[in-house]
């Protein structure tokens, strides 16, 4: 039996309202999660090209990316049109920005 990672469940088993509008619902999960045996596979941007095309048209792309950020989903799969390496860099920038905002807010109080 093929292992279903928690990352796949996010897409396969929608449980929040925004996921009802996700374009990937019902699609082959392997397109969005091309890892094997719980390990990310090595490859260029090409391994996510099909997923990327779907995500580009998805009306809940921002919500999907925010969900991944909230749950720190970096290692596997495509979220919000970003592959793991892209998310890792994007999330690092977001955390830095949030840190700056927090420091600024605390300095004002
Ligand atoms: S952005 Fe991509 S992975 Fe996220 S819900 Fe939309 S189609 Fe699915």
Helices (H), 1-109: 6-12, 29-32, 49-56, 61-70, 84-108
Indicate which residue's Cα is closest to atom 3 of ligand 1: 79
Task: Share the mean pLDDT of the chain.
Answer: 82
The closest of 39, 52, 36, 50 to 87, measured between CA atoms, is: 52
Residue with CA nearest ligand 1 atom 5: 22
Q: Is the CB of 60 within 6 Å of ligand 1?
A: yes
Sorted by sequence, the CB contacts under 8 Å of residue 44 that are 6+ apart come out as: none
How many angstroms is it from 40 CA to the middle of ligand 1?
A: 19
Split at pLDDT 50, 70, 90, the class of 6 is: very low
Q: Which has more pLDDT, 92 or 105?
A: 92
- Is the CB of residue 12 below 6 angstroms from any atom belonging to ligand 1? no
Q: Compute how many other C-beta atoms are within 10 angstroms of the C-beta atom of residue 82.
A: 23
């Amino acid at each position: 039996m093929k292992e279903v990672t928690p990352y796949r469940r996010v897409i396969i088993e929608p449980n929040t309202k925004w996921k009802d509008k996700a374009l990937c619902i019902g699609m082959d999960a392997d397109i969005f999660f091309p890892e094997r045996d719980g390990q990310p596979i090595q490859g260029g941007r090409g391994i996510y090209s099909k997923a990327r095309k779907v995500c580009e048209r998805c009306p809940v792309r921002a919500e999907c990316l925010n969900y991944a950020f909230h749950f720190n989903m970096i290692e596997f799969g495509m979220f919000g049109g970003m592959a793991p390496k892209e998310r890792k860099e994007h999330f690092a920038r977001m955390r830095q920005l949030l840190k700056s905002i927090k420091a600024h807010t605390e300095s004002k109080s």
